[in-house]
Amino acid sequence: MTRRRLPAEWEPQSALLLTWPHRDGDWGNDLEDVQQTFAAMARAVAPRQRLVVACHDQTTETEVRRRTRGLSSVTYLQIPSNDIWVRDHGPITVLEDGRPRLLDFRFNGWGNKYPSALDDRLTAALAPEAFPGLPLESINVVLEGGSIETDGAGTLLTTTRCLLHPSRNPGVERTKLERWLHDWFGVRRVLWLEHGELEGDDTDGHIDMLARFAPGNRILYTACDDRSDPHHAPLEAMAQELERFRAADGSAYRLLPLPWPPARHDENGERLPLSYANFLVINGAVLVPVYDLPTDEPAMDVIRHAFPHRAVIPVPAHPLVRQHGSVHCASMQIPAAVA
């Protein structure tokens, strides 16, 4: 009988995937700003592990090569894409009896909200080029990488609001989906959050905007201490749920609240989903989204406490959050077991 395990993000990695922003996407006048953010991420990652970049076309590849000039560990692949959110359209890597296997789930633009046909095909095109010979398992179920979080030891954290949303897999009940999660990822426990949401988050409640595991049975989570803010009640209810959860050994989780950033809105007056929980763990470092706000440094302090042996690197994330995502959403790690 084969055994599967979904590694924790803080375990050793061999590569990081990026899908580079391009002129045919939704970025408009923000394209230059978001490319600068991507270049900052690339400079932080490349000295620590391989970087694999999906480039929409030759024009995009030329631009990416210009912005990553001098970085020696970058692989460039020309693969068409709708948008940049590789956390959700990229592969999820499991270890099967210790050997890596890439899982390619369906991606439908977060419940058919946005065009996604190119993104849905990206993993099938990328895998044989970037990781030749590695098994690729196609699964005809909609699942986004940003909707699940694991401690690498058999526990998976997610939200009912996203995974059970009828626009993902209509008619699939919680018990059936939980059984699938056990089969796909080898997890023994699924912790479901019923509460917690951010205005402007069009993913229907991805866990990577709300709560994240860290070593030592820690959970970092988005907390709202402003009672006048409409987020206070749902995030307080989420915090109470986290307090009731127990680790596999029966102990309470060590909860680390992340600072609540002041509200920011787009040009149409829509509130943006600023989240410090959307950090990215790589080899020897944590990339933390920052928004040029007074809460940035306190948020990095919390993350330093959770990951004391890693460098904490701020990444200017306001260009990303204009399109309702952040640093973690725009990246996907590949475990060290993958050559």
244 forms beta bridges with: none
Where residue 339 falls among pLDDT bands split at 50, 70, 90?
confident
Strands (E) across 160-266 are located at: 189-193, 211-214, 218-222, 254-258
For 156-206, the pLDDT digits (tens) are 999 999 999 999 999 999 999 999 999 999 999 999 999 999 999 999 999
Strands (E) across 177-310 are located at: 189-193, 211-214, 218-222, 254-258, 280-282, 285-290
The helix (run of H) or strand (run of E) holding residue 106 is strand 99-106
Q: What mean pLDDT do residues 228-255 have?
A: 98
* 162 tagged catalytic: no
Domains in the chain: boundaries: 4-335
Name the CA radius of gyration of the chain, rounded. Answer: 19
In this prediction, residue 273 carries a pLDDT of: 98
- Which position among 55, 162, 224, 329 bears the catalytic label? 329
Where residue 97 falls among pLDDT bands split at 50, 70, 90?
very high
Look at strands 50-55 and 13-19 and give their pairing.
Answer: parallel
CA atoms of 260 and 275, how far apart (whole Å):
8
3-state secondary structure of 126: helix
In the predicted structure, residue 7 carries a pLDDT above the cut 70: yes
For 63-77, the pLDDT digits (tens) are 999 999 999 899 999
Strands (E) across 20-98 are located at: 50-55, 74-78, 92-96
pTM over 0.85: yes
CB-CB contact of 333 with 126 (8 Å):
no
In this prediction, residue 216 carries a pLDDT of: 97
Q: If you classify domain 4-335 with CATH, what class do you get?
A: alpha beta
In this prediction, residue 20 carries a pLDDT of: 98
> At 269, which amino acid appears?
G
Look at strands 74-78 and 50-55 and give their pairing.
Answer: parallel
- By CB neighbour count within 10 A (0-12 exposed, 13-18 middle, 19+ buried), where does 268 fall? exposed
In this prediction, residue 1 carries a pLDDT of: 65
In this prediction, residue 84 carries a pLDDT of: 98
3-state secondary structure of 87: helix
CB-CB contact of 52 with 77 (8 Å):
yes
